[in-house]
């Protein structure tokens, strides 16, 4: 067994590998860019080596620097994680030549299966069902349009070296095919250094189901059940689960055996994933093979009880798999939510900056520990006070739960999301909460078009309907009443001027447009009990008990005998008197006041925000890579104005209305902040 390994990656996956290495008694070496010098994976590793500047092409993608770091520290093996160089055939081959074990498949397997064009050809030769398409690199956008018309729309345009949603577009007409080809080629060139593109038929209403396989150097290959990955937004997975609520045992077995046969054809060693697109009648087609560890591997670890990182390390060290196909378990139900640094209410634009608060829910399962089940696990590479840089992927954590069945897993996940505190940046937690509550998700009736179908106009606050909005009002009143009770105990109050608790309040639900809602409530204490109160809201009564302290952001307890977890904060950016309640993805900004104060509040004039319609504003922090207009230019609605790059994705800004450019306020190469004006139009 290795004594020391280097992890050629960053973020949560680097921390994940370190956890297993530590369990196995293996020393670890982290590598990092200048942007990551204070990162969590650097702190956790036994040693750390600086690779270079922040951009990945100057640090994490430079094979020479990583090989040199391994030699310099005496690391006998390199674990590539996922992304970066994990599926780079030349890097795996270089490791072998340098006498460093590559904790992943052999270079010939990566060459055969990691390349999406080559793997599709190989699958066809092995008589595996494949989707109709054009499997050779396409030289130009015009050629791509002709091929797309020949196959028949819709088509999927994919970068050969793509992954993680990068370099992938679906086109429904010639215009989309032309634009999609160019965008895919640019993204692939920037992210992977390989701009080869191919096209295949897009199967409508498909499910994305993948089979986890594991092979060793002794010819053994097993499949470790499937993962359901159909909940995707722009081809980026959002929620993954194992097993799938859709496929039958017969389909699972057939897919598993086909995945194993394909892996054996290339003498596959290590963990890998064979992805299938599955039709409504459970007919399945080979999509691609990922010759690396997947982001969503924890859900497989939960239901099988296997540590996949440990298995990869043991295989790379030449060990034989110590279990058979018959030993592979399928225990309970696991789900994973990807927690991303993005603003779901602003079209999921990246959100970078400092994590002012980062408090995940209490963990009862841990990385590299397969003994503890039926609980909550958090895989992350960040920490409170750390910086989320713009140069890398937007995922900051993975929230994993394991339940006895699917409904139990959903319930655990909703409670865990309620208790996940992130401040300083925006996250997609409200969106995850909405997905988990959607009736079609709960019933298992979904496909890869689920998010596009149900959130076609984007995600808005009203897309998170709370099943009992009066509970949020009652909880705000409960917390306000408890704070008033505490205030009565403060010493030194002047006689006749002491704090009075009161039982009648009005909860003002604040609205950004000034349409505030006023709800009268009545609060009674439970006699002789602290942390208890009964709140009357209209015809409803809420008996709330909570041991949480008044300064806790996460409030947990029981309401009418049922457990709950919510978040409560005093003060907001606009109102220091506000109480902000968050529960099940819904956020309510309130003020809890006396009836007289509520009367006066209703008389206050509303101050409308300034009109910014004549500006094109930066919707996120990022790098301004292009300004497509000049002063005096006439611009039509929908015309391209600027391009901003953040977290490896290009975001194009378009004009909202016709107009003439009066000023260009930012220049190419400038780092922008949220809502910074870029272009001003004449009014």
- Distance between alpha carbon 158 and the CA centroid of its chain, in Å? 21
Burial 514-531 (b: 16+ CB within 10 A, else e): eebeebebebeeeeeeee
Q: What angle do CA 241, 244, 248 make, to 5 degrees?
A: 165
398: helix, strand or coil: strand
Give 250's DSSP letter: H
The tokens for 294 are: 């997947």
Q: Which of 448, 486, 472 is closest to 238 using CA atoms?
A: 448
**CB burial class (10 A; 0-12, 13-18, 19+) of residue 194?**
middle
Q: Residue 5: helix, strand or coil by DSSP?
A: strand
Cα–Cα distance for residue pair 352/673, rounded to 1 Å = 9
φ, ψ for residue 113 (rounded to 5)? Answer: -115, -25
CA angle 228, 232, 233 (to 5 degrees): 175
Contacts of 427 (CB under 8 A, 6+ apart): 339, 340, 341, 342, 351, 396
CA 405/CA 642 separation, integer angstroms: 48
What is the enclosing helix (H) or strand (E) of 209? Answer: strand 207-215
**DSSP β-ladder status, 615-617 and 634-635:** unpaired
In this structure, are residues 582 and 593 in contact, taking their beta carbons and an 8 Å threshold?
A: no
Give first-to-last CA distance, the chain, whole Å: 70
The H-or-E segment that residue 541 falls in is strand 540-545
Q: Annotated catalytic, 288?
A: yes
Q: What are phi and psi of 290, to 5 degrees?
A: -100, 115
Locate 471 and state its tokens: 């509970």
Cα–Cα dist 283/301, whole Å: 27
* C-alpha closest to that of 418 among 497, 361, 335: 361
Q: Which two tokens stand for residue 69?
A: 């770091």
Q: Which one of the listed residues 228, 240, 275, 288 is annotated catalytic?
A: 288
Distance separating alpha carbons of residues 224 and 215, to the nearest angstrom: 11
Q: Looking only at Cα atoms, what is the longest distance across the chain?
A: 91
CB-hemisphere CA count at 13 Å for 511?
A: 9
CA atoms within 13 A on the CB side of 54: 14
Tell me how far apart the alpha carbons of residues 183 and 157 are, in angstroms, rounded to a whole number: 10
Determine the Cα–Cα distance for residues 511 and 368; give it in Å rounded to an integer: 46
Sequence-separated (6 or more) residues with CB below 8 Å from residue 482: 531, 533, 550
Q: For residues 70 and 85, what is the distance between their CA atoms, to the nearest angstrom?
A: 15
Tell which residue, 238, 214, 248, 217, has the closest CA to residue 296: 238
Chain position carrying tokens 């319930």:
411
Q: List 422's β-bridge partners, or say none.
A: 358
Q: How far apart are CA 89 and CA 104, in angstroms?
A: 11
3-state secondary structure of 503: coil
Cα-based angle 193, 4, 106 (whole degrees, multiple of 5): 45
Q: Give the residue numbers marked as catalytic.
A: 288
């Amino acid at each position: 067994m290795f004594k020391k390994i280097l992890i050629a990656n960053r973020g949560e996956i680097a921390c994940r590998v370190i956890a297993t290495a530590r369990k196995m008694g293996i020393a670890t070496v982290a590598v990092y860019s200048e942007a990551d010098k204070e990162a969590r994976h650097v702190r956790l590793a036994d040693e750390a080596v600086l690779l270079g500047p922040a951009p990945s092409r100057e640090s994490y993608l430079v094979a020479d620097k990583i090989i040199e770091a391994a030699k310099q520290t005496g690391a006998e093996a390199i674990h590539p994680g996922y992304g970066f160089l994990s599926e780079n055939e030349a890097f795996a081959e270089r490791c072998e030549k340098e006498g460093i074990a590559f904790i992943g498949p052999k270079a010939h397997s990566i060459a055969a299966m990691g390349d999406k064009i080559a793997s599709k050809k190989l699958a066809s030769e092995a008589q595996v069902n494949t989707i109709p398409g054009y499997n050779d690199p396409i030289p130009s956008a015009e050629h791509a349009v002709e091929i797309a018309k020949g196959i028949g729309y819709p088509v999927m345009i994919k970068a050969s070296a793509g992954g993680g949603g990068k370099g992938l577009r679906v086109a429904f007409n010639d215009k989309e095919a032309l634009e999609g080809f160019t965008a895919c080629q640019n993204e692939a060139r920037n992210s992977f250094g390989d701009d080869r593109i191919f096209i295949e038929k897009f199967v409508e209403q498909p499910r994305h189901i993948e089979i986890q396989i594991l092979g060793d150097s002794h010819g053994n290959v097993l499949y470790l059940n499937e993962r359901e990955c159909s909940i995707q937004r722009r081809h980026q997975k959002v929620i993954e689960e194992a097993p799938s609520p859709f496929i039958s045992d017969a389909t699972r077995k057939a897919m598993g055996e086909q995945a194993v046969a394909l892996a054996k054809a290339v003498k596959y060693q290590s963990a890998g994933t064979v992805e299938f697109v599955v039709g409504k009648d459970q007919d399945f087609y080979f999509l691609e093979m990922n010759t690396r560890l997947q982001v969503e591997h924890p859900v497989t670890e939960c239901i099988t009880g296997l540590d996949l990182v440990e298995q990869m390390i043991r295989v790379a060290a030449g060990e034989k798999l110590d279990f058979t196909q018959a030993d592979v378990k399928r225990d309970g139900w696991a789900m994973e939510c990807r927690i991303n640094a993005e603003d779901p209410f602003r079209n999921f634009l990246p959100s970078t900056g400092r994590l002012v608060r980062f408090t995940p829910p209490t963990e009862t399962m841990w990385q590299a520990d397969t003994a503890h089940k039926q609980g909550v696990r958090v895989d992350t590479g960040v920490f409170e006070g750390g910086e989320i840089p713009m140069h890398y992927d937007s995922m900051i954590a993975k929230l994993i739960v394991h339940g006895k069945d699917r409904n139990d897993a959903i319930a655990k996940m909703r409670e865990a999301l309620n208790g996940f505190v992130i401040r300083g940046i925006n996250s997609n937690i409200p969106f995850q909460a909405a997905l988990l509550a959607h009736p079609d998700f709960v019933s298992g009736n979904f496909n890869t078009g689920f998010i596009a179908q149900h959130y076609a106009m984007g995600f808005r606050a009203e897309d998170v309907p709370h099943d009992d909005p009066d509970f949020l009002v009652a909880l705000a009143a409960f917390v306000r009443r408890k704070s008033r009770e505490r205030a009565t105990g403060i010493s030194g109050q002047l006689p006749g001027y002491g704090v009075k608790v009161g039982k009648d309040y009005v909860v003002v639900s604040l609205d950004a447009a000034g349409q505030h809602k006023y709800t009268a409530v009545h609060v009674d204490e439970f006699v002789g009990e602290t942390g208890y109160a009964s709140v009357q809201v209209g015809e409803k009564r809420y008996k709330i008990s909570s041991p949480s302290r008044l300064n806790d952001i996460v409030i947990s307890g029981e309401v009418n005998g049922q457990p709950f977890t919510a978040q409560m904060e005093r003060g907001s950016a606009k109102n220091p008197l506000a109480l902000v309640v968050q529960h099940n993805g819904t956020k309510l900004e309130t003020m809890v006041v006396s009836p007289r104060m509520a009367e006066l509040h209703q008389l206050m004039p509303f101050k409308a925000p300034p009109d910014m319609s004549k500006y094109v504003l930066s919707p996120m922090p990022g790098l301004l890579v292009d300004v497509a207009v000049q002063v005096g230019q006439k611009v039509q609605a929908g015309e391209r104005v600027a391009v901003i790059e953040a977290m490896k994705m290009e975001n194009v800004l378009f004009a909202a209305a016709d107009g003439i450019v009066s000023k260009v306020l930012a220049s190419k190469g400038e780092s922008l902040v949220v809502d910074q004006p870029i272009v001003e139009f004449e009014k």
